[in-house]
Structures are given as structure tokens and as C-alpha cells.
Amino acid sequence: MRAADPIGRPRGPEPEPDIRTRLRLALTGALKSRNADAVSALRSALSAIGNAEAVDPGAPGRATDPGAPGRAAVSGSVHFAGAAAGLGAGEAERRLLTEADAAAIVRAEAAEREAAASQYEGSGHDGQAAGLRHGRQALLEALDGWVSDGAGGDGARR
């Protein structure tokens, strides 16, 4: 039986959560189960997405001080270390990433973990390699809801 909205009309299927939401939900589960490898991987991926959304202060399109390239121009005064003054001067709109952009970042994080695991394995640190691979698996499962066979092949939908 489908839930109804406050007026009593049946609701349609709920949309699937975005990548950030799935990562946060997976992080909550990993924290509750005290899964340190998954927690590390999921936090790393969320941070990487946040870093990709950050705006470069010297990005084109901002007015810059001709005397100090890359520094924002300020109305008529020089501020310590190029700081801007005024209401909202420290605010910048973040970049908007598409779901595909965020997915690419998470896949890159998973690939980096796999590469590091291979290096650890090559130097005889199998425990660390297993932890990195466990984190990689948590990323991939949170990314698209698929449970992989571990080799990057076909998997089953959760």
C-alpha cells in the first residue's frame, strides 16, 4: 500500500536519492557498525566531492586587483593579505556538480584505493590492502546500489 500525501492522494514512487545522500546514508550505517575501512572511504569521497565544488578565488570572471594578479579587487582600499571587505565579501557560490561529475569523483576515489591496495599487497601488507579494498567496495555499493562480485564484473541489484 502506497503512502498518501496530506490531502489523501496516493504518492508516486519516491525518487532515488542522489549520490551525496547515498554516501551519507552509507556513512551512517558504517559508523553504526563501526566499520572503520568503509567510514574512511566514504568520508574521503564526500570530502573529494566538497573540494571539487569549491571555487578557485582567482578564477576568471572575478574582478582582480591589477597590482596583485589573482587577488580580488576591493573598492579603493588595500586590505591585509588581499582580504575583501563588506557584507557578503567572503561568500562565493559553489560550483554545481552534476550527478555524473560526482559519480566520476567517487569512481576515481575507488580506483585510487584499488591502486594503493595493489601497492600494499606487493610489499606484503595484505591487511592494509584488504582494508582499502573493503573501503573501495563500500564506495561502489553506495555509488550505484550494486553489489559487485569484487572484480568489477556484473553484480546483483540490492
Let me know if residue 72 belongs to a domain: no
Q: What is the pLDDT of residues 69-111, one digit of tens each?
A: 444 444 455 555 666 666 666 666 778 888 889 999 999 999 9
Let me know if residue 71 belongs to a domain: no
- Domain count along the chain: 1
Helix, strand or coil for residue 132? helix
- Asked if 65 and 82 count as a contact pair (C-beta separation under 8 A), the reply is yes
Does the pTM exceed 0.75?
A: no
Let me know if residue 47 belongs to a domain: yes
Let me know if residue 108 belongs to a domain: yes
How buried is residue 80: exposed, middle or buried, by Cβ count under 10 Å (0-12/13-18/19+)? exposed
Given this model, what pLDDT does residue 79 score? 53
> Which ranges of the chain have pLDDT less than 70?
1-15, 57-92, 145-158
Cα–Cα distance, 42 to 25 (Å, whole number): 10
Let me know if residue 78 belongs to a domain: no
Let me know if residue 156 belongs to a domain: no
Let me know if residue 25 belongs to a domain: yes
Nearest to 50 by CA among 15, 24, 79: 24
Let me know if residue 2 belongs to a domain: no
- Asked if 138 and 150 count as a contact pair (C-beta separation under 8 A), the reply is no
Helix, strand or coil for residue 90? coil
Cα–Cα distance, 92 to 108 (Å, whole number): 26
* Residue 132 belongs to domain spanning: 16-54+98-151
